[in-house]
Protein backbone atom coordinates (compact mmCIF):
# COMPACT_ATOMS: atom_id res chain seq x y z
CA UNK A 1 0.00 0.00 0.00
CA UNK A 2 1.56 3.22 -1.11
CA UNK A 3 1.94 6.13 1.25
CA UNK A 4 0.52 9.34 -0.22
CA UNK A 5 1.04 11.82 2.59
CA UNK A 6 1.37 11.87 6.33
CA UNK A 7 -0.72 14.05 8.59
CA UNK A 8 0.90 13.99 11.99
CA UNK A 9 -0.48 15.56 15.12
CA UNK A 10 1.80 17.85 17.09
CA UNK A 11 3.82 16.32 19.90
CA UNK A 12 2.77 16.85 23.49
CA UNK A 13 4.76 17.93 26.48
CA UNK A 14 7.88 15.88 26.86
CA UNK A 15 8.86 16.25 23.19
CA UNK A 16 9.70 19.98 23.17
CA UNK A 17 13.03 21.06 21.76
CA UNK A 18 15.37 19.24 19.38
CA UNK A 19 15.38 15.48 19.51
CA UNK A 20 18.74 13.87 20.32
CA UNK A 21 20.51 12.00 17.55
CA UNK A 22 19.19 8.46 17.44
CA UNK A 23 21.92 6.04 18.49
CA UNK A 24 22.02 2.31 17.86
CA UNK A 25 20.76 1.78 21.40
CA UNK A 26 18.05 4.36 20.78
CA UNK A 27 16.92 2.55 17.64
CA UNK A 28 16.73 -0.69 19.62
CA UNK A 29 14.65 0.98 22.33
CA UNK A 30 12.37 2.56 19.73
CA UNK A 31 11.83 -0.85 18.09
CA UNK A 32 11.19 -2.35 21.52
CA UNK A 33 8.47 0.23 22.20
CA UNK A 34 6.87 -0.33 18.79
CA UNK A 35 6.84 -4.09 19.36
CA UNK A 36 5.23 -3.59 22.77
CA UNK A 37 2.66 -1.18 21.32
CA UNK A 38 1.71 -3.70 18.65
CA UNK A 39 1.22 -6.41 21.29
CA UNK A 40 -0.92 -4.14 23.47
CA UNK A 41 -3.09 -2.84 20.64
CA UNK A 42 -3.66 -6.32 19.20
CA UNK A 43 -4.65 -7.61 22.64
CA UNK A 44 -6.57 -4.62 24.05
CA UNK A 45 -7.54 -2.64 20.94
CA UNK A 46 -6.52 0.90 20.04
CA UNK A 47 -9.26 2.52 22.11
CA UNK A 48 -8.30 0.79 25.37
CA UNK A 49 -4.55 0.45 24.80
CA UNK A 50 -2.86 3.12 26.92
CA UNK A 51 0.61 4.65 27.04
CA UNK A 52 0.99 3.33 30.59
CA UNK A 53 0.27 -0.23 29.45
CA UNK A 54 2.61 0.08 26.46
CA UNK A 55 5.44 1.43 28.63
CA UNK A 56 4.97 -1.43 31.09
CA UNK A 57 4.92 -3.97 28.24
CA UNK A 58 8.14 -2.48 26.85
CA UNK A 59 9.69 -2.31 30.33
CA UNK A 60 10.50 1.37 29.91
CA UNK A 61 9.48 4.53 31.73
CA UNK A 62 6.56 6.41 30.23
CA UNK A 63 8.84 9.42 29.73
CA UNK A 64 11.17 7.24 27.62
CA UNK A 65 8.24 6.49 25.32
CA UNK A 66 7.48 10.20 25.04
CA UNK A 67 11.16 10.95 24.36
CA UNK A 68 11.05 8.65 21.34
CA UNK A 69 7.59 9.44 19.95
CA UNK A 70 6.42 12.69 21.51
CA UNK A 71 2.85 11.58 22.11
CA UNK A 72 0.49 8.64 21.74
CA UNK A 73 -0.87 9.77 18.36
CA UNK A 74 2.61 9.90 16.83
CA UNK A 75 3.30 6.43 18.22
CA UNK A 76 0.09 5.15 16.61
CA UNK A 77 0.89 6.77 13.25
CA UNK A 78 4.42 5.35 13.28
CA UNK A 79 3.07 1.90 14.11
CA UNK A 80 0.48 2.06 11.32
CA UNK A 81 3.09 3.07 8.77
CA UNK A 82 5.44 0.29 9.88
CA UNK A 83 2.64 -2.26 9.46
CA UNK A 84 1.10 -1.03 6.21
CA UNK A 85 3.92 0.46 4.11
CA UNK A 86 5.97 -2.71 3.49
CA UNK A 87 2.98 -4.33 1.80
CA UNK A 88 3.29 -2.14 -1.28
CA UNK A 89 6.56 -3.55 -2.63
CA UNK A 90 5.66 -7.10 -1.64
CA UNK A 91 2.25 -6.92 -3.30
CA UNK A 92 3.75 -5.42 -6.47
CA UNK A 93 6.17 -8.35 -6.63
CA UNK A 94 3.28 -10.82 -6.31
CA UNK A 95 1.40 -9.13 -9.17
CA UNK A 96 4.47 -8.93 -11.41
CA UNK A 97 5.37 -12.58 -10.87
CA UNK A 98 1.87 -13.94 -11.44
CA UNK A 99 -0.98 -12.18 -13.24
CA UNK A 100 1.30 -9.69 -15.01
CA UNK A 101 2.90 -12.59 -16.91
CA UNK A 102 0.36 -12.58 -19.74
CA UNK A 103 2.01 -15.32 -21.80
CA UNK A 104 1.01 -18.06 -19.35
CA UNK A 105 -0.97 -20.79 -21.10
CA UNK A 106 -2.99 -21.75 -18.01
CA UNK A 107 -4.62 -18.52 -16.85
CA UNK A 108 -6.69 -20.09 -14.02
CA UNK A 109 -3.53 -21.67 -12.57
CA UNK A 110 -1.77 -18.33 -12.88
CA UNK A 111 -4.57 -16.62 -10.96
CA UNK A 112 -4.64 -19.36 -8.32
CA UNK A 113 -0.93 -18.76 -7.74
CA UNK A 114 -1.65 -15.04 -7.39
CA UNK A 115 -4.55 -15.68 -5.00
CA UNK A 116 -2.59 -18.02 -2.77
CA UNK A 117 0.34 -15.65 -2.53
CA UNK A 118 -1.88 -12.65 -1.81
CA UNK A 119 -3.76 -14.45 0.96
CA UNK A 120 -0.48 -15.64 2.49
CA UNK A 121 0.89 -12.11 2.31
CA UNK A 122 -2.11 -10.74 4.19
CA UNK A 123 -2.34 -13.52 6.77
CA UNK A 124 0.98 -15.13 7.42
CA UNK A 125 3.48 -12.40 8.18
CA UNK A 126 4.14 -10.99 11.64
CA UNK A 127 2.05 -7.85 11.13
CA UNK A 128 -1.16 -9.53 9.94
CA UNK A 129 -3.01 -9.37 13.27
CA UNK A 130 -1.94 -5.75 13.74
CA UNK A 131 -3.17 -4.75 10.26
CA UNK A 132 -6.58 -6.30 10.86
CA UNK A 133 -6.83 -4.59 14.26
CA UNK A 134 -5.95 -1.26 12.66
CA UNK A 135 -8.71 -1.60 10.07
CA UNK A 136 -11.25 -2.89 12.61
CA UNK A 137 -10.61 -0.10 15.13
CA UNK A 138 -10.24 2.80 12.67
CA UNK A 139 -13.90 3.91 12.98
CA UNK A 140 -13.40 4.26 16.76
CA UNK A 141 -9.95 5.84 16.99
CA UNK A 142 -9.15 9.26 15.53
CA UNK A 143 -5.38 8.72 15.46
CA UNK A 144 -5.90 5.65 13.26
CA UNK A 145 -8.03 7.62 10.82
CA UNK A 146 -5.31 10.28 10.66
CA UNK A 147 -2.69 7.62 10.00
CA UNK A 148 -4.74 5.82 7.36
CA UNK A 149 -5.30 9.05 5.45
CA UNK A 150 -1.58 8.87 4.69
CA UNK A 151 -1.85 5.33 3.28
CA UNK A 152 -3.11 4.64 -0.24
CA UNK A 153 -5.29 1.64 0.52
CA UNK A 154 -6.61 1.42 -3.05
CA UNK A 155 -3.20 0.82 -4.64
CA UNK A 156 -3.74 -2.93 -4.67
CA UNK A 157 -7.10 -2.54 -6.40
CA UNK A 158 -5.59 -0.34 -9.11
CA UNK A 159 -2.67 -2.73 -9.65
CA UNK A 160 -5.07 -5.64 -10.15
CA UNK A 161 -7.44 -3.57 -12.30
CA UNK A 162 -4.58 -2.58 -14.63
CA UNK A 163 -3.77 -6.25 -15.25
CA UNK A 164 -7.43 -7.22 -15.68
CA UNK A 165 -7.87 -4.48 -18.29
CA UNK A 166 -4.83 -5.76 -20.20
CA UNK A 167 -6.15 -9.32 -20.09
CA UNK A 168 -9.54 -8.11 -21.31
CA UNK A 169 -7.96 -6.31 -24.28
CA UNK A 170 -5.90 -9.42 -25.04
CA UNK A 171 -9.11 -11.45 -25.18
CA UNK A 172 -8.13 -13.69 -22.27
CA UNK A 173 -10.78 -12.42 -19.85
CA UNK A 174 -14.10 -10.62 -20.29
CA UNK A 175 -13.94 -7.71 -17.84
CA UNK A 176 -16.26 -4.80 -18.70
CA UNK A 177 -15.33 -2.88 -15.51
CA UNK A 178 -11.79 -3.71 -14.39
CA UNK A 179 -11.89 -1.70 -11.17
CA UNK A 180 -15.17 -3.26 -10.04
CA UNK A 181 -13.81 -6.72 -10.86
CA UNK A 182 -10.64 -5.99 -8.87
CA UNK A 183 -12.72 -4.98 -5.85
CA UNK A 184 -14.75 -8.16 -6.17
CA UNK A 185 -11.57 -10.22 -6.31
CA UNK A 186 -10.28 -8.50 -3.18
CA UNK A 187 -13.54 -9.26 -1.38
CA UNK A 188 -13.48 -12.91 -2.46
CA UNK A 189 -9.93 -13.43 -1.24
CA UNK A 190 -9.20 -11.00 1.55
CA UNK A 191 -12.73 -10.70 2.93
CA UNK A 192 -12.93 -14.46 3.36
CA UNK A 193 -9.44 -14.54 4.86
CA UNK A 194 -10.46 -11.92 7.42
CA UNK A 195 -13.46 -13.97 8.48
CA UNK A 196 -11.68 -17.30 8.77
CA UNK A 197 -8.67 -15.88 10.58
CA UNK A 198 -10.85 -13.78 12.94
CA UNK A 199 -9.07 -10.62 11.79
CA UNK A 200 -5.65 -12.24 11.92
CA UNK A 201 -6.02 -13.61 15.44
CA UNK A 202 -6.19 -17.26 14.29
CA UNK A 203 -3.23 -18.51 12.28
CA UNK A 204 -4.34 -20.54 9.27
CA UNK A 205 -2.19 -23.32 7.87
CA UNK A 206 -1.10 -23.64 4.24
CA UNK A 207 -4.01 -25.91 3.34
CA UNK A 208 -6.57 -23.47 4.72
CA UNK A 209 -5.07 -20.42 2.99
CA UNK A 210 -4.84 -22.31 -0.30
CA UNK A 211 -8.49 -23.34 -0.02
CA UNK A 212 -9.59 -19.73 0.57
CA UNK A 213 -7.61 -18.56 -2.45
CA UNK A 214 -8.68 -21.36 -4.78
CA UNK A 215 -12.39 -20.95 -3.98
CA UNK A 216 -12.22 -17.22 -4.57
CA UNK A 217 -10.27 -17.53 -7.81
CA UNK A 218 -12.53 -20.28 -9.16
CA UNK A 219 -15.58 -18.10 -8.56
CA UNK A 220 -13.84 -15.11 -10.15
CA UNK A 221 -12.83 -17.08 -13.23
CA UNK A 222 -16.38 -18.39 -13.67
CA UNK A 223 -17.60 -14.81 -13.72
CA UNK A 224 -14.92 -13.30 -15.98
CA UNK A 225 -13.24 -16.14 -17.85
CA UNK A 226 -13.68 -16.68 -21.58
Indicate where the chain has its CATH 1.10.357.10 domain(s).
84-224
pLDDT in the model for residue 145 = 86
Higher pLDDT, 45 or 22: 45
Kindly state the average pLDDT of the residues 85-107. Answer: 81
CATH topology of domain 13-70: Arc Repressor Mutant, subunit A (1.10.10)
d(CA 81, CA 205): 27
- Is the model's pLDDT at 4 over the cut of 70? no
Condensed to tens digits (0 to 9), the pLDDT of residues 97-137 reads 898 876 677 899 999 999 999 998 888 666 777 887 888 89
Indicate where the chain has its CATH 1.10.10.60 domain(s).
13-70
CA pseudo-torsion sign 92, 93, 95, 96: positive
* Whole-number average pLDDT of the chain: 84
Kindly state the average pLDDT of the residues 18-30. Answer: 63
CATH topology of domain 84-224: Tetracycline Repressor; domain 2 (1.10.357)
pTM of the model: 0.70
Amino acid sequence: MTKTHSARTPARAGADGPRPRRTHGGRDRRAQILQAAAAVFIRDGFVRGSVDTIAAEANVAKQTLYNHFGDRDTLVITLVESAMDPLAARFTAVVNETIAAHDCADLPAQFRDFGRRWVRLMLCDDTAALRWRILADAPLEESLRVALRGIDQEASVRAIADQLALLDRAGRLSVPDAEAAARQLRALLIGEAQLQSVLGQVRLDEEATAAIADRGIDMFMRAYGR
